[in-house]
Structure 1
């Protein structure tokens, strides 16, 4: 039980600014933590949806969207945005594999990264501003189900990337999480996500999970063909892309 708690706290420490432990986690805690990514996403989703609902009584929809977007970036520490920027800099450079990896590792931000992240944030803001009010049954709280589910699915999307695909570098984030191994964590994370999806949005939650699985596998296969494996930056980029996809899919859902 203690080992599972340490794994959850390690996931919380990695994915958010929230610190409930000293941070000195053993290697096995980091490897097991992947299974708890969706639960960390649930915590983030409840915070964002709660802030969304509270702000609805205080500010207009456009201001609410901007504030909730800022809160999401703050809670994650900009971790995924940083990975998205670095990934776009490298992937849009049109160079060979080694040069792309070098560009992604460079701390300087290029024009491709700036253009891509501005586009991403504008898309997120626009979709959030247009998001209609929704009601989640959980505790009879009037929370937006799409906002609750979005971080759950985006954090789950990284699980197959971490467990089913090789790491492109000899050292780095992938070695910490034992990239390419840990299929048990994938099964656990998927069961947790499916349950949460059903509780939050019913059958539609499972449809979202299936669509996100396709997005995750498509992204991972493309990156593997291009770079021979994934990197920490591409994990973060996947999370950001998935969030935009979920928000956009909400407006085009046929169910």
Structure 2
């Protein structure tokens, strides 16, 4: 029933979009849903062509963006989880890291672009750096919060059984905070996918650059094609982590 309602709502939205566009209520020459879907079909018919840096298929651009996101996102998880565990179990580490977290967390991802370009002198590395610095905070904060909310009795039992600090972290703390870690990872993935589109408009290549290039070509239908592809890819990435999150939801 839920799937049927979702399909019907999408169809209604497409019909309303088409009507508004044809009536000129969204602006002169604004593309309708039928024109956009026709362009989407064309791009999907051969998504991976490569005719040069400014003429790449929608699939090729998508893979470029996904590569950058996965590298930057993976690096952020590698840093955020251990550091979050350390902050959670150590008051000294928490006090030391908190000023930096509060200072850097609200900084716009695009503010890091010129820093990355100056340091790395490479658009690919800069994109990965921006993804990393933007997506590290949710997982870091969620992990440390999860550690701080663990039932103290679990830790007392572990110590009474003679478990070392490392064994306590791996066998007690880490399993207990896994739902928090995955919740942070899910938010981090959403941020990573959001940021890369904006960053690539300045860096070149990728799905973000595709949008900027089509805007320069005054091709609004292709921009909507990219928006649809971005949205569907974002849903897929979110659902993949969501499925993993459900496996560690001990309340189910």
TM-score range normalised by the length of the shorter chain: 0.3 to 0.5
- The normalised TM-score by structure 2 is 0.33
